[in-house]
Amino acid sequence: MEKVQELTNQLEAGITELFNSERYAAYLSIMSKFHRYSFGNILLILLQCPGASQVAGYGDWKKNFGRQVKRGEHGITILAPCPYRRQEEVEETAPDGSSSKSVQWVQRMSFRTVTVFDISQTEGKPLPEIVKKLTSDVAQYESMVAAIRSISPYPIHIERFPSDAYGCCNFAEQRIFVQPDMSQAQTIKTMIHEVSHAKLHAPIEDGDGETPPQRKRRFVREMEAESVAYVVCQHFGIDTADYSFGYVAGWSHGKDLSQLKASLELIRNTAAELIDGIDPPKELPPPTQKKQRTKRRNAYERS
């Protein structure tokens, strides 16, 4: 447990440093400039550019990010909301049931088409990264995957699922999904993250078979699962600091570290449980019984 304690302390220090670092400040500055697109516009973007990851208008790329749209690139057409006000005749009902009409200013919404470009269609200054995808191999990878599968509360399926996430813990189906074709380190880290969700955040049925809503907010659940994954991976020599610190800090943006500190005991206990499950402590051999030496005495009778 001392090693786990050391790693959780390292986790807290790393996240605190990231919160206060220029790297994270730059990341937040960049992210604050990206528009939050609607579900409909996300579909339009994916239909026109399936590999899109970060999009912005021509002027925004140049002014805000120091990047230029490449010559010959075709833009992605989406819908931009255009709120406006106009005078309309509105019917109102009085408390006595009578009705009257009056002309009032009413807020309405129309849309216009605008063109955006994905980052892959631009060139120029690199955007700061806070989460770096893991790329390394893992010693004894196959045996570690088998061990994680054996201790997981839910079966783990390495197969594609409709999401940009690397993994998913489906509580309704009681299954874990992990995207294929990732590095060994990213696969192991993702498996441990999702197993942590299954162990820590599964809904608990009450006596009537009803499932109460999860009490913890999503950022807390993500922070706990990724923190456990960091500690477990670090224990086995898989360095996920660049990914995990950014992941936790990103989810925790706008909050202080009090929630992380409140969860540290839970993180420690869960990480220790998974570490022992993946690599069970070796049983001590039974104590050897020392044979008692009997002193030989030369016995003789004296007459």
Question: What is the distance, to the nearest Å, from the Cα of residue 211 to the centroid of all Cα atoms in its chain?
Answer: 24
Q: How far apart are CA 32 and CA 65, in angstroms?
A: 12
Which residue intervals of the chain are DSSP H helices? 2-19, 22-33, 39-48, 58-65, 141-151, 184-200, 218-235, 241-251, 258-278
Joined together, the tokens standing for residue 41 give 């516009």
255 or 211: which carries more pLDDT confidence?
255
Which of 264 and 58 is assigned the larger pLDDT? Answer: 58
pLDDT, one tens digit per residue, over 9-49 is: 777 777 667 666 665 555 444 444 444 566 577 678 877 88
- In this predicted structure, what is the pLDDT of residue 290? 44
CA gap 138, 118 in Å, rounded = 33
| Amino acid 112: pLDDT | 85
Q: Which one has a higher pLDDT value, 293 or 111?
A: 111
Paired sense of beta strands 76-93 and 156-158, if any: unpaired
- What average pLDDT does the structure give for the chain? 79
Residue 31's pLDDT is 44
Confidence band (pLDDT; 50, 70, 90) for 206? low
Per-residue pLDDT at 204: 75
**Which residue did the predictor score with more confidence, 9 or 170?**
170
pLDDT, residue 301, reads 33
Round to whole Å and give the CA distance between 55 and 275.
Answer: 40
CA 127 distance to own-chain centroid: 20
pTM, two decimals, is 0.57
In this prediction, residue 200 carries a pLDDT of 93
Per-residue pLDDT averaged across 43-57, rounded? 81
Is 301 in contact with 52 (CB distance < 8 Å)? no
Q: Give the angle 160-231-194 at the CA atoms, nearest 5°.
A: 25
**What does the pLDDT look like over 102-128, one tens digit per residue?**
888 988 888 888 999 999 999 999 876
* Three-state DSSP state, 26: helix
What pLDDT, on the 0 to 100 scale, is given for residue 209? 52
Residue 42 · residue 77 · CB < 8 Å: no
The pLDDT value recorded for residue 296 is 41
